[in-house]
Structure 1
Amino acid sequence: MQQELKSDFTKQLIIDKAFSLFYENGFKSTSIDAIMRETSLSKGAFYHHYKSKKDIGLEVISLKVEKRVVEGMILPLMKKGNAYDIIVKVFINRLKEFSFYDKQHGCPMNNLINEIGNTEAVYQKALRNIIEQWKYALEQLIERGKYENSIKKEVSSKAVAIYLISAFEGIRGIRKLYDNDVVIEDFLSGLSSYLEQIRV
């Protein structure tokens, strides 16, 4: 039991350090040696848990990136309340709440999509799975809004869902180019205008 706990702790340490390095320096720029240095593990101890960088990448996507998106962007869409208000809260307030560190480095998922999303089918599948979960939850909320009469019935749930996700991810990438939030404020102004158009 003690050995199992130690093994779980070691794996978590590797994933946490790898996630931070991927986020700050990029997936391709981060070597296994750099991850090993951050964890202070021996080569033997390290390779006992992960045989390749691809294995680590997939674990980072499923254990860190997906968890962040589910907790920050998907579960809030499933709360009770006015559907339109929930969309506003999730997509507008969430951007305002990001720390300076998060604004500097963008979205971990979006960074990985742009860097490795077209290099390996396994990465594509893992990252697409997160987007599909997010899109489905948003489509369901928009449909609920139509039923509750807070969102216009003629609105295409699929179109609005993918637009909102794309816009949100896009501005997080663009924000990395600036040293202040003016570009986010301009984006939020435009997004607010768009959301008003789907509101009843």
Structure 2
Amino acid sequence: MEKSLKRMATMHKMQVTGLELFYKKGYYNTSVDEILKELSLSKGAFYYHFKSKEDFFISILQQLVVRKVYSMLIEPIEGHEDPLNLISTCIDEALQTAEHNENDYGFVLSNFITEFNGKNPEIMKYLNDTLKIWEVNLVSALQRGKFNGFVDRHIDCEGAASYIISSFIGIRTMMVEGSPTALRYRYMQQLRFFFRAMVNKQTA
């Protein structure tokens, strides 16, 4: 049991460090040697835990990226009757976190989707599946809001979810090189206008 826990702790430390490097430099610009140097590990130790750099990256997606997206953008809106304010709040909180990140290179999921698109179908599947989980949960939340009378019945939930995701990815990209506080403020103002237009006027 103790050996197993120690191995899990080592793997987690490797994954956290690997994600930081891949986020900063990109997957293809980060070598196994750089990861080993950062962790003070031998190649033998690395390959004891992971078959390859790709296997290591996939474990990071499964263990860290999916959980990060879930806890930040999905969990806060699950199971609530009125989703609009909750979606707005969790997006604002995610942007505030990014605003105060000195090493901000954009939204980790979209960064990797851009990097791997057309290059690695297996990894792209993991990335697209993560994006799909977010989209499906947004659609479900909006449909639940419709059913409970908080969202206008004429709203296209799939279209609204696509807009929310694509606009979030866009503003995260702009915040890297722009003025993050001003960009977040203006974006959230417009997003709230968008959500107000979706409210069921009979219950507002």
Please say whether Structure 1 and Structure 2 have the same fold, judged by a TM-score greater than 0.5: yes
Runs of 4+ in 1 over 3 A off after TM superposition: none
TM-score (norm. length: structure 2): 0.90
Q: Can you list the C-alpha shifts for 1:50-75, whole angstroms capped at 9, x where unaligned?
A: 22211111111111111000111111
CA spacing shift, 1:179–1:104, aligned 2, 3 Å: farther
The equivalent residue for 2:42 is 42
TM-score (norm. length: structure 1): 0.92
Mark the runs of 5 or more structure 1 residues left unpaired by the alignment: none
Aligned residue pairs, count: 200
**What's the C-alpha RMSD, in Å, of the aligned pairs?**
1.8
Percent of aligned pairs sharing the same letter = 26
Equivalent AA in structure 2 for residue 117 of structure 1: N
1:1-200 superposed matches below 5 A: 1-101=1-101, 104-200=104-200
- SS of alignment partner, residue 197 of structure 2: helix
- SS of alignment partner, residue 28 of structure 1: coil
Q: Higher helix proportion, which one?
A: 1
- The Cα of 1:151 is off from its aligned counterpart by 0.9
- SS of alignment partner, residue 27 of structure 2: coil
- The Cα of 1:179 is off from its aligned counterpart by 4.5
CA spacing shift, 1:10–1:136, aligned 2, 3 Å: same
Equivalent AA in structure 1 for residue 66 of structure 2: E
* Cα pair 1:103 1:175 within 8 Å, conserved: no
CA spacing shift, 1:179–1:80, aligned 2, 3 Å: closer
Mark the runs of 5 or more structure 2 residues left unpaired by the alignment: none
- SS of alignment partner, residue 151 of structure 1: coil
- The Cα of 1:77 is off from its aligned counterpart by 1.5
- The Cα of 1:79 is off from its aligned counterpart by 4.0
